[in-house]
Chain A
């Protein structure tokens, strides 16, 4: 994680002036240049990926509804237009994988796609067939990342995933959890197993991961995906009535979602946050959080203090 991304106030003015032309005064929509998107490094390989990805829980589960599929295609297009890469889903999310596959096909499978899904079923044979089915639904030949969803039958699936990785059938493997579930067991797996990615919940209101999971990830060189950055939208609802602090502009934040996302991706151990949305304007707004300066440690502390005071 590049510390050069952190700024002090003195540097801020320069950076702001440079980034303002790209963000603030352009069109009503967020003006994004993919090349300027903040990227983070996957520790195991040194590969860089954009620090903001896209989750698909609820938002992409629209079934066969053609109008909503068209809407989601536009959302995904906005994501890739803004330089996004990692798209995360799961067989648990209803029709999300199928809908993502449909959208990707409409967009002719954008080059920057970093495909990530999960296995969520007991038993080896069912796990394998579920992952094969996911590939069909996405319309791709290989996933970049396969994760064990909420540690379901993790010992069985981890052996399968390691085997698949050795054979080149997947590039990265990992485990996931959310909302503080089973952190003890999760941490143990992080310490003892040869995995590349971990995914869990972390946001300005739920910072439990700072105690154990994030330090272990840094220590073990694991890439970290952060799910539910807005706590299922409740953080945005909670803060919406309050103004952003004036100093939020120092880190290029114009809205609460950007404020919340910047907080997450500025943690040195975090590789990527995956907010989910069903609206193009929200996608553009979110992606703008991966532009410009990131808060340093002092600024992060200030952000926490301010949010706690609301």
Chain B
């Protein structure tokens, strides 16, 4: 074990930025036209969170579980592991996250219902913020690749790529107000890993991951404060 622990983070970066960005393009080309379905799934998630139809909690849980499982299986296990053997571990992390979301959603559906029945102070503003985050994850995120000077063929979409899937999950968290905090452990770990990776690749994505971690930590703080307030009342 000692021999593995003395590797630096840079030792574990096995590919160049050029290879990384080209791999995103190849992945999208391989999956086309699944991107249309992914976009539809993302917009459905937004609609369910905002409109809160009947069975909203089950729909949210199922969509998120599918998104995590698909991006873990297709992106990490089937594609990214070709240039990064660590992606095998990431892929399983994503599958476990999908499984946990599904289990929690089935066993405690009330925790997956948007704002547990309707917007209430102080959560109504965060509910709107959550919807905005989902909108960004689904519709704006694909264009971030342009900031890295890369073509849109490498656009990252919700349910097919890790980062927008994590961001949309956080958006959902803000809409739900009671999402089990345990479900944020894997997103935080992965966001940290990919922040380090993209930072070493000098990608703009590192700032996005910083933003994701910030949104996640803010959510935890709000939840803790909210719980304390409820306990004292």
In the complex, whether B32 has a CB less than 8 A from a CB of chain A is: no
B7: chain A residues within 8 A (beta carbon): 150
Inter-chain contact B16/A95, CB cutoff 8 Å: no
A94 touches B83 (CB 8 A): yes
Name B16's contact: one of A59, A151, A153 (CB within 8 Å). Answer: A59
B25: shortest Cβ distance to chain A, in Å? 9
Residue B26 lies at the interface, judged by CB distance under 8 Å to chain A:
yes
Task: Give chain A's interface secondary structure class.
Answer: loop
Closest to B1 in A: A122
Assess the A68–B19 pair: CB atoms within 8 A: yes
A61 and B15 within 8 A (CB) = yes
- Whether A94 contacts B14 in the complex (CB less than 8 A), given A63-B23, A63-B82, A68-B19, comes out as yes
Known: A93-B14, A94-B83, A94-B84. A152 touches B4 (CB 8 A): yes
> With A62-B83, A151-B3, A152-B3 as given contacts, are A232 and B19 in contact (CB-CB < 8 Å)?
no
Does B225 have its Cβ within 8 Å of any Cβ on chain A? no
A-B contact count (CB 8 A): 54
Cβ-defined contact, A94 with B82, below 8 A: yes
Contact with A94, one of B4, B18, B85 (Cβ below 8 angstroms): B85
Pair A95/B82 contact, Cβ less than 8 Å: yes
Q: Is the pair A61, B4 in contact by a Cβ cutoff of 8 Å?
A: no
**B26, closest chain A residue (CB):** A65
A64 within 8 A of B: yes
**Residue from A58, A62, A67, A181 within 8 A of B6 (CB atoms):** A181
Q: Does B120 contact A (CB under 8 A)?
A: no
Is A130 in the interface zone, CB < 8 Å from B? Answer: no
* A62-114 contacts to B (CB < 8 Å): 62-65, 67-68, 92-95
- A61 near B19 with CB under 8 A, answer yes
B125 is an interface residue with CB less than 8 A from chain A: no
Residue of A nearest to B3 (CB): A152
Smallest Cβ distance from B82 to chain A, in angstroms?
Answer: 4
- State which size class the interface on A falls in: 20 to 34
Q: Could you mark each residue 2-14 of chain B with 1 if its beta carbon is under 8 Å from any beta carbon of chain A, else 0?
A: 0110111011011
- In the assembled complex, the Cα of A10 lies from the Cα of B154 at a distance in Å of 58
Known contacts A62-B83, A150-B3; decide if A179 and B8 are in contact (CB<8 Å).
yes
Contact A182 B19, beta carbon cutoff 8 Å: no
B83–chain A nearest beta-carbon distance, Å:
4
Q: A182 and B6: CB pair below 8 A?
A: yes
Shortest Cβ distance from A102 into chain B, in angstroms?
13
A278 near B16 with CB under 8 A, answer yes
In angstroms, how far is the closest chain A Cβ from the Cβ of B47?
37
Q: With contacts A68-B22, A93-B14 known, is A61 near B6, CB below 8 A?
A: no
| Distance to closest chain A CB from B176 (angstroms) | 38
Residues of B within 8 A of A (CB): 3-4, 6-8, 10-11, 13-16, 18-19, 22-23, 26, 82-85
Known: A64-B26, A64-B82, A92-B85. 8 other contacts (CB 8 A): A62-B19, A63-B19, A63-B23, A65-B26, A68-B18, A68-B19, A95-B82, A150-B7
Complex A-B: 18 CB contacts under 8 Å? A58-B16, A61-B15, A61-B19, A63-B23, A63-B26, A63-B83, A68-B18, A68-B19, A93-B14, A94-B15, A94-B84, A94-B85, A95-B82, A150-B6, A151-B3, A152-B4, A153-B3, A179-B8
